[in-house]
Chain A
């Protein structure tokens, strides 16, 4: 597996996922 591609991609995916959770938290205020 190409580490140059997959390693940063998986790292970014985790951060994006946590970012989605943050956006969800902010959205809860407007429900």
Chain B
């Protein structure tokens, strides 16, 4: 049970060491590409950019991607590679989907195999996965250069080219070959027709003959490597990595999980290498590792090692609920005794799990995919035991347990700035980071960037939980339904993209006669959250790094706080825990904790 997560962590750690050295070498411009590749690099090189020019280039590039994506999805009905004749997605779903893939979130309010032609998969999904994944990487590189005190922070287009072409493409090719060998489809065909082993299992046609099974296929092995390496998470199939053609074997599952870990792990060390402070980055790396190990252990203890409470026996009793008309403000509600269902649960909660991957693979994947903001899933999140469901939520709330490529490290820097500010206040010194004094402007920028995330989770969650937009969309009443709403906005704001499921958020194709009634507000609400939570927490830290980096380095004295010690690591961990708890403990209490402590079928 523990072997899988242990092997994944060890392999990711080992691979992150050489990869981080390669990344630092590449982003410092020491790599000289062959002439046939260098001509394009020279073509896009518009010269060194200051932080504002860099940010402007990033936003202009994003506008171009948005327009391109919108047009491609709009043209799907008349585009080639669409033998099934799929129509156009509903417009709010197009908006949501384009923003989702632009922002590296890959929240899917549609089912990929049911709504997308191979043209849309190849021309819209694939380039977006490579390019949006590169944006965070580029932003971190710009921040590092700014911290080094450089007047210019590089060129966005050159950085984008290097990251996509010299990092993502070659590594994706390696993983693509592994996945094809494991049985993942790689074809331009849209469907395969198969005769079922059990005749008639797909029903009978008009002539009374057994229907064959039509299986959707396509260039799956081209999409899945970058889906995982770029921590994109958007599935070719609606079932994502639980689908047997998207994640065929236990071996494929191991490499799928590993793929989403290696780049976020490596980027932390790249930060230290490029700054010349490797010991400092190792401390940050260890803090992230402790958090990830803790969240994996948490979800496995409460899911893989616990039975599903909805299937176990419960003694009868009563519980109280608030009722303003009752004399003491509460009324007793009887809870009937429930006999255990005849389900063998010695392997833990197996509801919604793919057992071909192993009993712990679903729980471990749930923690990792939310820690690194990938958002792929290989098990049903909605079926996790209540307390286990807290682990993926915490990963998205703090959003810096390695996090997405580049942005996870950027988010951690915000906590770090808050940490050194608090430590400075405690000892009566002006806070310093990298030997430079953190002033009011840097603190304001860090706080703005830090607060965008909780505001964009808690505000819309409260609005939807209080209106029929949320209550009419949730599949479960009470605490579990509240968790579904909070999870959706946590996933959107963290640019994660996984779904707790249970929410009716799918409209589907525009001619769908039976869409989810609340799909439109969910499309627009999560679309805007994804957009703002992507760019604002990237822009403000780049500005902060520029203003901090241009300050003179103060000489090291007796009172200088060392940033490469265990004490500093504890300070950082404590800051993340305290700030995270202050921001999100109330919603945790109203969702997973209330569900665990509440009545059956889940609590009690």
Contacts and interface: CB of A to CB of B under 8 A. Distances in A.
B166 interface: no
B539 A28 contact: yes
Given A7-B91, A21-B536, A31 B55 contact: no
Contact of B539 (A9, A14, A21): A21
Q: Pick from B91, B98, B539 the residue with the most CB of A within 10 Å.
A: B91
B56 A22 contact: yes
A3 B531 contact: no
Contacts of A18: 59, 62-63, 66, 531, 535
A10 to B, nearest CB: 4
B418 interface: no
Given A7-B74, A13-B95, A21 B535 contact: yes
A19 B59 CA distance: 9
B359 to A, nearest CB: 43
B510 interface: yes
Interface in A1-31: 1, 3, 6-7, 9-11, 13-15, 17-18, 20-22, 24-26, 28-29, 31
Interface in B531-575: 531-532, 535-536, 539-540, 543
A22 B59 contact: yes
Contact of B91 (A6, A22, A26, A28): A6
A13 B260 CA distance: 31
Nearest to A5: B91
A14 B95 contact: yes
Contacts of A14: 66, 70, 95, 98-99, 527, 531
Contacts of A13: 95, 524, 527-528
A25 B555 CA distance: 32
A17 B456 CA distance: 14
Interface of B: 52, 55-56, 59, 62-63, 66, 70, 74, 88, 90-92, 94-95, 98-99, 441, 444-445, 448, 510, 524, 527-528, 531-532, 535-536, 539-540, 543
26 contacts: A1-B90, A1-B91, A7-B74, A7-B94, A10-B94, A11-B95, A14-B70, A14-B98, A14-B531, A17-B99, A17-B528, A17-B531, A18-B62, A18-B66, A18-B531, A21-B59, A21-B531, A21-B536, A22-B56, A22-B59, A24-B535, A25-B543, A28-B543, A31-B444, A31-B445, A31-B543
